[in-house]
Amino acid sequence: DQQVKQNSPSLSVQEGRISILNCDYTNSMFDYFLWYKKYPAEGPTFLISISSIKDKNEDGRFTVFLNKSAKHLSLHIVPSQPGDSAVYFCAASALDMRFGAGTRLTVKP
């Protein structure tokens, strides 16, 4: 039973445009949400997080939005750069962390 779902296995965008990655969760006990970025042959690296008491958190080109009523969060990358090409994992935590299956983002020059 996957409690965190990323329904888009892949996403392709043009350099300079916005990338929007989506994530849905089912467990209402989750109170902390994160996005990780993963390059091939490396471990995931932390990108940005948001607490359930907020609905938006911004860090440079990266913004995470949380809609608790819809149990949905999204990651916006503006502007997208070729170096952003990676697999992005959404994660949710209620003491222990649960991960989505990942979305492979490709940013084309």
Residue ranges that bind other proteins, judged by CB under 8 A: 2, 4, 6, 9, 31-32, 34, 36, 41-46, 49, 51, 89, 91, 93, 95-102
- HSE (side-chain half, CA atoms, 13 Å) at 26: 8
Distance in Å, CB of 19 to other proteins, minimum: 19
Of the candidates 14, 1, 4, 20, the one whose C-alpha atom is nearest the C-alpha of residue 102 is 4
Nearer to other proteins, 70 or 96 (CB): 96
Nearer to other proteins, 79 or 101 (CB): 101
Contact predicate 61/79, CB 8 Å: yes
